Amino acid sequence: MAALDHLVWAAPDLDGAIRDIEARTGAKAAPGGAHPGNGTCNAVLGLGARSYLEVLAPDPAQAPQPGPAAALSALPAPTLHTFAVATDRLDRVAAKLEQGGLPHAGIIPMSRRLPSGRLVRWRLLIPAGHAYGPLVPFFIDWGDSPHPAENAGEACRLTSLTLSHPEAWSLRPLLERLDVEAQVETGPPAITADLDTPKGAVRLSSRDHVAG
């Protein structure tokens, strides 16, 4: 099965979201860097070997932009938004999507500059044409770049990932076709991640911003 690469903790403000995660877990996310041209920046919190939590927010140093950055700005509070799965065969995943009748925008090159000045590059593949929104992950290949989890601390661990959807019966086989391992339950749409942290068991959810 494909390995989870990272969870995306989406927020309207990076500094506030870093403080929020630290208050919940007792661990502080490290500065990641900016995504030039996308209007976003991030911080990372390690969740184990080659797995991390990405705190993603608008970048105040970039001009306001439509799309993802604008959607982050509109959030009332931080929330667990989606997750990424690691692969070194994006072409194979693309073929599986096409065989299943799911479109995609092709393989997308991305980059960000670390606080040290080093440029990190990766490639993304984002499935589309389905009714499950962020419950279907995107796929990432880091190539020869260092993985963000390498310097993101080891205080926290991901213990489980659960996806909930009214049509779990059809979401489950789609994820299996894409080799994505996650527990799928019937219920309102939601992503839930359980973490082992310095403050004990902590649950992050896509419903957090509703409660906030």
Q: Which domains does the chain have, with CATH numbers?
A: 3-211 (3.10.180.10)
Instruction: Yes or no: say if 179 and 54 are a contact pair by the CB < 8 Å rule.
Output: no
Instruction: Yes or no: say if 34 and 52 are a contact pair by the CB < 8 Å rule.
Output: no
The pLDDT-based confidence of 211 (bands split at 50, 70, 90) is: very low
Q: Which of 140, 132, 151 is nearest to 5 (CA)?
A: 140
Segment 199-204 mean pLDDT:
97
Which of these ranges, 61-65, 129-133, 137-141, 161-165, has the smallest mean pLDDT? 61-65
What does the CA dihedral 38, 158, 78, 22 come to, rounded to 10 degrees? -110
Residue 212 has what pLDDT? 41
For residue range 2-34, list pLDDT tens digits in order.
689 999 999 999 999 999 999 999 999 999 988
Share of the chain above pLDDT 90, in %: 66
Share of the chain above pLDDT 70, in %: 97
Instruction: Yes or no: say if 175 and 198 are a contact pair by the CB < 8 Å rule.
Output: no
Residue 80 has what pLDDT? 96
**Is residue 105 predicted with pLDDT exceeding 90?**
no
3-class DSSP state of 142: coil
Which of these ranges, 68-72, 163-167, 185-189, has the smallest mean pLDDT? 68-72
Which residues are CB-neighbours of 122 under 8 A, at least 6 positions away?
109, 110, 111, 140, 141, 142, 143, 145
Instruction: Yes or no: say if 71 and 1 are a contact pair by the CB < 8 Å rule.
Output: no
Q: Which of 81, 30, 33 is nearest to 61 (CA)?
A: 33
Residue 1 has what pLDDT? 52
Segment 120-148 mean pLDDT:
92
Residue 99 has what pLDDT? 86
Which residues are CB-neighbours of 92 under 8 A, at least 6 positions away?
none
**Is residue 97 predicted with pLDDT exceeding 70?**
yes
Q: If you average pLDDT over every residue of the chain, what do you get?
A: 91
pTM of the model: 0.93
The pLDDT-based confidence of 207 (bands split at 50, 70, 90) is: confident
**Is residue 199 predicted with pLDDT exceeding 90?**
yes
Instruction: Yes or no: say if 87 and 140 are a contact pair by the CB < 8 Å rule.
Output: yes
**Is residue 210 predicted with pLDDT exceeding 60?**
no
For residue 60, the one-letter residue type is P
